[in-house]
Amino acid sequence: MKNLAFISMHACPLARLGEKDSGGLNVYVLQTAKYLSNRGYNIDIFTRAHDPQDQHVINVSDAVRVIHIEAGSHESLKSELPSLVSDFQENLELFKLEYNLNYELIHSHYWLSGQVGLSLSERWQIPHITTFHTLALTKLQARIGEIEPAIRELTESKIARNADAIIVSTSEEKHALTRLYNVHPDRIEVVTAGVDLERFHPIDKYLARKTIEISESNIILSVGRIDPLKGVDILIKAISMMDNTADTKVLIVGGEPESGNELSKLINLSNKLGLNDILRFEGTVNQDMLPIYYSASDIFVMPSYYESFGLVALEAMACGVPVVASRVGGPKLLINQGGNGYLIPWVCPEPFSEKLEILLSNKILREKMANASISTARNLDWNNTVNKLSNIYCSLTPNNKLDVIGA
């Protein structure tokens, strides 16, 4: 027996990526489930029904299903979800009863799902592993102006105290959990997130540029959800400080412009700074197309205030693009200064501008960093992640009930 229940209440693994609330967490849940299924696990991923067009149960493969559980209206905002947790849990249990399902372990993702995981693990008498992906206290410390529901911090503490294990993607996050939430380090496992190397690999630059219709010589890229924490405004200001932006295009992937939202604020900033000819806002891009965007670029920039990991930096590296990133999350772990990219200790435009100028003016350096980036990413495909997850699952299941292929 090797049946896992993944709970990802707010992040549907099949949602369109790059919009306000869909990104790395959705990718992480789907990819780990897919790769775990190659090792003999069956995984049901429970997520909240959010689109009337979606089927109740979607078979992603023979061993992975996405199950949409009703809780509140399909249009409910993320801010309303804390009040829908108990409905979600009740309907999830009804689904389990109706189909007479049994699971050996629960892995919950994010604090909303952590509450459900905690409660169900007590009721079903099985282990519960949690991955927070982001933490209220680290977000609040990272950037002034962040707002989180008051109960989030308390709930995270409760989940952290009671889960059988906590999985984090970096030792920086482990440190945050021990320091800010008082969790004993022995209960936290660091499992580095991964990249799909079959999808993310270098593609001929000329062809890539032709496909996305770019004729400029210098291409700078940013990819991600458009959220103030991602610091895309820092990138825009950094571009405005560069001495020479001739023959340069900056592509910003992610987000949908709606009046007053973060993306429209960034477009206004670009207008104000007279960068309309240089910046191109692409909106969300299907992940199938992202290897083309990465491969077309000379530099990938990630000026985030906070990342629990930041998959996009690893995807860019796998495609052979030097990364200039704030010293947070995955980049802090993956980038060695001046070897395969640059880490910037302060989220402010000047140092980003400086490193962009250095890299754009030195093709040999870019090529050296591109090769080094590919080597770094080569060891970090999702197999590496799920090997470790599988070992943790097995260690928590009595008599190694989850003892499956390759674990």
**Shortest Cβ distance from residue 13 to ligand UDP (Å)?**
12
Coil, helix or strand at residue 179: helix
**Shortest Cβ distance from residue 253 to ligand UDP (Å)?**
5
Q: Which is closer to ligand UDP, CB of 191 or CB of 253?
A: 253
Contact region with ligand UDP (CB under 6 A), list: 91-99, 213-221, 311-319, 334-342: 311-319
Q: Could you tell me the CA-to-CA distances from 161 to 34, 131, 158, 164, 178 in Å, in that order?
A: 29, 13, 5, 9, 11
312 binds ligand UDP per the rule CB under 6 A: yes
Contact region with ligand UDP (CB under 6 A), list: 160-168, 218-226, 349-357, 393-401: 218-226
User: Distance between CA atoms of 200 and 194, rounded to whole angstroms?
Assistant: 11
**Shortest Cβ distance from residue 382 to ligand UDP (Å)?**
11
**Shortest Cβ distance from residue 404 to ligand UDP (Å)?**
26
Coil, helix or strand at residue 220: strand
User: Distance between CA atoms of 228 and 376, rounded to whole angstroms?
Assistant: 28
**Contact pattern from residue 18 through residue 47 relative to ligand UDP, giving x for each residue in contact according to CB under 6 A and a dash for the rest:** x----xxx-x--------------------
Q: What are phi and psi of 280, to 5 degrees?
A: -130, 115
Contact region with ligand UDP (CB under 6 A), list: 206-214, 262-270, 310-318, 360-368: 310-318
Edge-to-edge strand list for the sheet holding 299-302: 279-283, 248-253, 218-223, 299-302, 323-326, 341-344
The two most distant CA atoms of the chain are separated, in Å, by: 66
356 binds ligand UDP per the rule CB under 6 A: no
User: Distance between CA atoms of 351 and 357, rounded to whole angstroms?
Assistant: 10
Coil, helix or strand at residue 96: helix
**Shortest Cβ distance from residue 338 to ligand UDP (Å)?**
23
Candidates 135, 239, 278, 290: give the one binding ligand UDP (CB under 6 A). 290
331 binds ligand UDP per the rule CB under 6 A: no
Task: Sort residue 247 into left (φ over 0), alpha (ψ -120 to 50) or beta.
Answer: left
Q: Which is closer to ligand UDP, CB of 105 or CB of 325?
A: 325
Quick one: tokens of 105?
């372990």
**Shortest Cβ distance from residue 170 to ligand UDP (Å)?**
12
Q: Which is closer to ligand UDP, CB of 25 or CB of 236?
A: 25
User: Using CB under 6 A, which residues numbered 243 to 272 contact ligand UDP?
Assistant: 253-254
Residues 69 and 87: beta-carbon distance below 8 Å: no
DSSP string, 285-296: --GGGHHHHHHH
Length of the chain: 407
Candidates 43, 112, 176, 311: give the one binding ligand UDP (CB under 6 A). 311
**Shortest Cβ distance from residue 263 to ligand UDP (Å)?**
11
Contact region with ligand UDP (CB under 6 A), list: 103-111, 222-230, 262-270, 338-346: 222-230
**Shortest Cβ distance from residue 200 to ligand UDP (Å)?**
8
Residues 37 and 5: beta-carbon distance below 8 Å: no
Total number of residues that touch ligand UDP (CB under 6 A): 20
Compute the Cα dihedral for 1, 396, 109, 27 and give only its sign. Answer: negative
Candidates 13, 194, 303, 310: give the one binding ligand UDP (CB under 6 A). 310
User: Distance between CA atoms of 294 and 205, rounded to whole angstroms?
Assistant: 9
Q: Which is closer to ligand UDP, CB of 95 or CB of 382?
A: 382
Residues 110 and 132: beta-carbon distance below 8 Å: yes
Residues 284 and 253: beta-carbon distance below 8 Å: yes
The residue nearest ligand UDP at its CB is 23
**Shortest Cβ distance from residue 204 to ligand UDP (Å)?**
20
Coil, helix or strand at residue 235: helix
Contacts with ligand UDP, residue ranges (CB under 6 A): 17-18, 23-25, 27, 223-225, 253-254, 284-285, 287, 290, 309-312, 315
